[in-house]
Amino acid sequence: MAEDEWRGLFRRLSSAGLMPARGMQQRLLELDDPDAVLKSAKRLGMNGILNDEMLDQLLVGPEAVVDDETPSFATGVPPPNGDSPVLDTPVSVDEPAVGRVVAPVLEPPLEIAARPHGLPHFDIAKFPLAATETDTELDIHFDITGNSITACTMGDMLSYFNDRLQRIKRIIIQGGRLPNRPIDIRRLARERKRFGNRDTTATIIGLVSEIRHGSSNLRFTLEDETGDYACILYPPGGAADTSSASRRNQLLVAGLMNDNVIGVTGHIQGDRRDVLVVDDVHLPPLPNHRKSAAPADQAVSVAFLSDLHLGSNTFLHAQWDKLVKWFHEDPLAKTVKYLILSGDVVDGVGIYPGQQGHLQIVDLYKQYEGVARLIEQLPDWLETMILPGNHDAVRPAEPQPALDPRIQEYFNSTTFAGNPCEFSLHGVRVLSYHGVSILDFVSGMRNVTFSQPEVAMQEMLERRHLAPSWRGKTPLSPEPEDHMVIGTIPDIFVTGHVHGHYCGEHKGITLVHSSTWQDQTNYQRMLGFQPKPCILTVINLHTHESASIPFA
C-alpha cells in the first residue's frame, strides 16, 4: 500500500518539475498532506531537486521569501535545454546564486461566478425544512370578500375619509413625537393671532390637497372635519434641528401625495394670516420592525409571483415549464410550502382598447381554466393562494373581492382571497397587494420611478396607506371604513403590477416586488420599459433568508 502511495506521489512531483532526492521518500510519506508541497511549489514557482532544505522552505508556506542564497534551480528558472536540472555535485549554500531571483507569481483568488441577472447568491443551509414535514397553517386576518357594504353615497365617502383621518391621526399622536397637542383647523383659524411667531407654534393634522411645487418651496392645503388651511414649506434654516431639517428636505425633494394624512407644526406668517409657515412635518412613525419567525420545526418557505397574464400572446410558456421542472427536482423547491400569486393571473378581455389583437386565448373563462392547468402541474405539497388584480374578472375598485366562485371551480386546491389581503403563515404576517397605486406614486412623487417600485412600497409604509390618492389612477371603493390603511406593520410586504423585481428590507420589513411571467409588451416597448420576468422569490419563514431564482 505504501509503495502504491509513493508511486502516485512521485508521479505528481515529477509532473510539477520536482525530483525527490535520495532519502526523501520516507519524509514525504510521513507528511499529513503531501500535496500541500505541490501547491506551495506551484505558488512560489519552485522546481528542481527536492531535498531537505527545499522541503523545509515549502513547508513554511507560500508566504516564504526566496532569499539571495537559494540555489538557482529553486527560483523557477529552467535550465537552457528546458530539462529538469540534474546536479553531478552538490551546490554549497555559501556559493552565490547564479542569475537573479525571480519573485513568485501568485494565482488570483477564486471568485464565485455571478448569477444570472446579477441576483445575489443564497445559502441552501438557510432553508432547513422540507415542505412535507409540516402541516398548512394559513390564517387570513382581512379580506374584503363578502364584507363590502358601501352604497357609494356621499355619507359613505365622508365616513371613508373620516375613518382614514382618525386612524392615521391616532398613529401619529401615539408615536409621541409631536411638540404640542394638535388642535383642529377651525380653532387654528379662530385663534391665529396666538400663533404669530415661532415661540407659539400650532400643530394640526389633516388630509393633503392642492399640492404646488415652487422654485424653493412646497405649498399645500391641510383639511380635517372642521375646515382647511393653506400651508407653505420652506427649506430649513440654521435654527432647525437635524431630524426636522431632514424631514423637510425630504418632502421638498420628493413631494406629497394627495389625500395623505400628515401633521405639521408651524406659525402664522406675519403679513398673511391665512398661511401656516411649516416648521416641522409629522408623518406616521414607522419604527424599526422586529419580524416574527415561524418555529424551527415549521421552517418552510413561501414563494411569490405576480402578473402571469395567461391568455396574452406574450405569456412565457417555455419558462413556466422550466419552473415546473424546478419545483419537482430542486432541493430549494422542496422547502417551498406556499406559492402566492398577487394578481393578474390572466390577461383578461376588454381591459384596454385593441387588446383582442394581443390575445392567444380570447375567452376569459378559458384563460382561468388554463391557469388551473398550470397550477395542477406543480407538486402536491404546494399550497397556492391567488389574489385578483386589475386584469382579473372582479370589480376594478379597491379593495377587490376574491375571484367569482364559478371561476374558483376550475381549481382543485387553491385558496382565493381579495386584494389587498393580510394573512399569516406559521405566525409570520404577510401583507399582499397587487400594487395599482404604484402608478399614483410615480406620477405624484419625484423620488419614485417604475424601475424602482420598492421606493413606492417604502412610501406606502411610511404613510401607512396603500393607495392614498382619490381620483388618481387607482379606483377606490368608498367603504365606511378605509381598508387600505396599514394598521398593523407586516413582516413581509409584497406587491406586483409594474412587472419589476425586488427583494430587500425597509426598517426590518421584508419587501418583495413579485416578478411577472409576461414578456415585454408593445406598450412597454413604446415606453422604453424593460420588465424583469420569470424570477421566483423564495422567503424562509423561520430564518427570513431569501432566494431569487431566474427562469428566463
**SS3 call for 168:** helix
- Rounded to the nearest 10 degrees, what angle do helices 35-44 and 2-15 cross at? 10
Give CA 505 to chain center in angstroms.
6
Residue type, 43: R
Which pTM does this prediction carry?
0.79
Q: Are 499 and 506 in contact (CB under 8 A)?
A: no
Q: Are 308 and 344 in contact (CB under 8 A)?
A: yes
Residue type, 457: M
Name 446's Cβ contacts closer than 8 Å, sequence gap at least 6: 253, 254, 255
Q: Which CATH class is domain 154-282?
A: mainly beta
The CA distance from 309 to 534, in Å, is 12
- Rounded to the nearest 10 degrees, what angle do helices 52-60 and 35-44 cross at? 80
- What stretch of H or E contains 326? helix 317-329
Map grid coordinates 398593523 to a residue.
488
Residue type, 509: I
Torsion over CA: 505, 507, 509, 513 (sign): negative
Instruction: Give the pLDDT of the chain (552 residues) as one tens digit per residue.
Output: 566 777 778 778 877 777 777 778 888 888 888 888 888 887 777 777 788 888 888 887 544 444 444 443 333 344 444 444 444 444 444 455 555 656 667 777 877 788 888 899 999 999 999 999 999 999 999 999 999 999 989 999 999 999 999 999 999 999 989 999 999 999 999 988 888 877 889 999 999 999 999 888 999 999 999 999 999 999 987 655 678 888 888 889 899 999 999 999 999 976 667 899 999 999 999 999 999 999 999 999 999 999 999 999 999 999 999 999 999 999 999 999 999 999 999 999 999 999 999 999 999 999 999 999 999 999 999 999 999 999 999 999 999 999 999 999 999 989 999 999 999 999 999 999 999 999 999 999 999 999 999 999 999 999 999 999 998 999 999 999 999 999 999 999 999 999 999 999 999 999 999 999 999 998 888 888 899 999 999 999 999 999 999 999
For domain 116-131+301-550, which CATH number applies: 1.20.120.530, 3.60.21.50, 3.40.50.300, 3.50.50.60?
3.60.21.50
The CA distance from 181 to 172, in Å, is 11
* Residue 354 φ/ψ region, left for φ over 0, alpha for ψ in the -120 to 50 degree band, beta for the rest: left
Give CA 18 to chain center in angstroms.
53
Q: Do the two domains 116-131+301-550 and 154-282 of this chain adopt the same fold?
A: no
What are the angstrom distances between the C-alpha of 148 and each of 164, 466, 478?
Answer: 17, 18, 10
> What's the full length of the chain, in residues?
552
Terminal-to-terminal C-alpha distance of the chain: 52
Domain ranges of the chain: 1-111, 116-131+301-550, 154-282
